[in-house]
Amino acid sequence: MPHAQQFEPEEFAPAPARSRRSWDPVVKITHWSIVTAIIANALITEEGSGAHIWVGYALAAVFALRLLWGLIGPAEARFSAFPPSLRRAVGHLRDIRVGRKEIHRSHNPLGALMVYAIWCVLGLIIASGIAMAGPPSGALPGSADQAGEVSRHLVAEQDDDEEEDEVKGAEGSESMWEEVHETSVNLLYILIALHIAGTVFETRRSGREILLAMLPGRA
């Protein structure tokens, strides 16, 4: 496939015109939608509320779209354009140290590791969130029905003494998912800080192209 060759991850492209990075609309829209959903669930919605869970499902859908795009999207958006490779990442660090600028049409090898790390942690957050919340109930965010659904899963209050053991088991797995959710959210915050620092660093090193390519209005 001629395209795949054009976007080899370690490609060198001395001509400035070829160095221009560009992301298709799906990559841009999924990036900024994921950012918006994370900000909403981290700062705006109440933890475990109907709104939090619905934002969570929207996040899961957008994330699934991006993963699908990694298989069927344009060359630079595909997983094959930015394979996770420690060897390449070390090579990239060496390039930075000696001031060598290699051109990458997709994520650079260090950025690729960060992208996969963010995606893995997002996967954990979504899986643990869904494990606690259950499948969508069809009720509107914040409605009594939805709240009831959530509290049924989260609090698992049971009056019946005979079911006490079962409830203890449910609470045990709940708190496990709660733990996974909370820990991975904290890990995500660290990765986001590193990602933004990396973007700023790379923008200073290689030019504003890096940032502009992810903003709207650039084909």
Nearer to ligand HEM, 27 or 113 (CB): 27
Of residues 108-137, which lie at the interface with ligand HEM (CB under 6 A)?
111, 115, 118, 125-126, 129-130, 132-133
Q: Round to whole Å and give the CA distance between 38 and 54.
A: 12
The 15-44 site mask, x for binding ligand HEM (CB under 6 A), equals ------x-----x--xx--xx--x--xx--
Q: 157: which 2 tokens?
A: 């209050």
Long-range CB contact pairs, 83-90, < 8 A, 24+: 83/9, 83/112, 84/112, 84/113, 84/116, 85/109, 85/112, 86/113, 88/9, 88/10, 88/112, 89/113
For the bound state, the minimum distance from the C-beta of residue 97 to ligand HEM, rounded and expressed in Å, comes to 19
State how far the alpha carbon of 12 is from the alpha carbons of 101, 192, 219, in Å. Answer: 9, 29, 21
Of residues 72-111, which lie at the interface with ligand HEM (CB under 6 A)?
107, 111
Looking at 9, 50, 62, 66, which residue binds ligand HEM (CB under 6 A)? 66
Pick the closest to residue 61 from 33, 40, 35, 42 (CA basis).
33
Looking at 9, 50, 52, 78, which residue binds ligand HEM (CB under 6 A)? 52
Nearer to ligand HEM, 162 or 219 (CB): 219
When asked if residue 9 is in the footprint of ligand HEM (CB under 6 A), the reply is: no
Pick the closest to residue 188 from 115, 132, 134 (CA basis).
115
| HSE value, Cβ hemisphere, 13 Å, CA-based, for 142 | 4
For the bound state, the minimum distance from the C-beta of residue 201 to ligand HEM, rounded and expressed in Å, comes to 11
Element (H, E) at 162: none
| Sites of contact with ligand HEM (CB under 6 A) | 21, 27, 30-31, 34-35, 38, 41-42, 47-48, 52-53, 56-57, 59-60, 66, 107, 111, 115, 118, 125-126, 129-130, 132-133, 154, 178, 181-182, 185, 192, 195-196, 199, 210-211, 213-214
